[in-house]
Amino acid sequence: MAENYQLIDRVPEGPLSMHPKKFALWLFMVTVVMIFAAFTSAHIVRQAQGEWLIYDLPQQFLINTGIIALSSIFLHLAFRAAKKDNMKLLKPMVLMATILGFGFLAGQWAAWGDLVSAGNHFVGGNVAPSFLYVITGVHAAHLIGGVIYLLYILIASFRYKVHSKNMLNMEMCTTFWHFLGGLWVYLYIFLLLNH
């Protein structure tokens, strides 16, 4: 009795492709990485030249790191719920991610207030705080875009336009939000080590 084994060649059916909107998002994120690589490199070079004001980072930055990480977890749970068409879980998870996104922005504003009230932390004086404001401010500007995208997804989920057969925007928003969260963790660690 001979056993028949069929070998299956896994040949791609066509060229590797990506939705044009996803491709544009990835290009944008690469651009953002390059911008922050330039900022952090300039920070290191300028700090090495001397006359650098040593300052303490606000405790709020650590709290904000936790907030954005938690927001990312909620959005990941929302993404998984959307893939399973679990609308009861999708809506509150996107809502929590959005609220925490606003919380992160409010926390950044509070941190900047703490810097100002600590004294010598203003743009135009020593260059060290200027770098801090530019790095955290440009990140916050990108995060505002992420929060707007979260609001769009939140509204779409309440209109039942986010589900397993319509995942493009949900996937893009989740990717971008995780990227922004990861970028903040990198920036926070960088500032901790180089303030």
89-134 per-position pLDDT tens digit: 999 999 999 999 999 999 999 998 887 777 655 555 667 778 888 8
Average pLDDT, the chain: 86
Cα 122 → chain centroid: 26
Q: Where are the domains of the chain?
A: 56-193
Contact predicate 99/52, CB 8 Å? no
CATH number listed for the domain at residues 56-193: 1.20.120.80
Find the radius of gyration of the CA atoms of the chain: 21
Predicted structure pTM score: 0.84
Question: Quick check: 9 pLDDT over 60?
Answer: no
Listed in sequence order, the residues at least 6 apart from 97 whose beta carbon sits closer than 8 Å to its beta carbon are: 71, 72, 74, 75, 78, 150, 177
Task: Give the pLDDT band of residue 46 (cuts 50, 70, 90).
Answer: confident
Percentages of the chain per state (helix, strand, coil), in multiples of 5: 75, 0, 25
Q: Residue 92: how many CB atoms within 10 A of its CB?
A: 14
Question: Quick check: 14 pLDDT over 80?
Answer: no
Question: Quick check: 30 pLDDT over 80?
Answer: yes
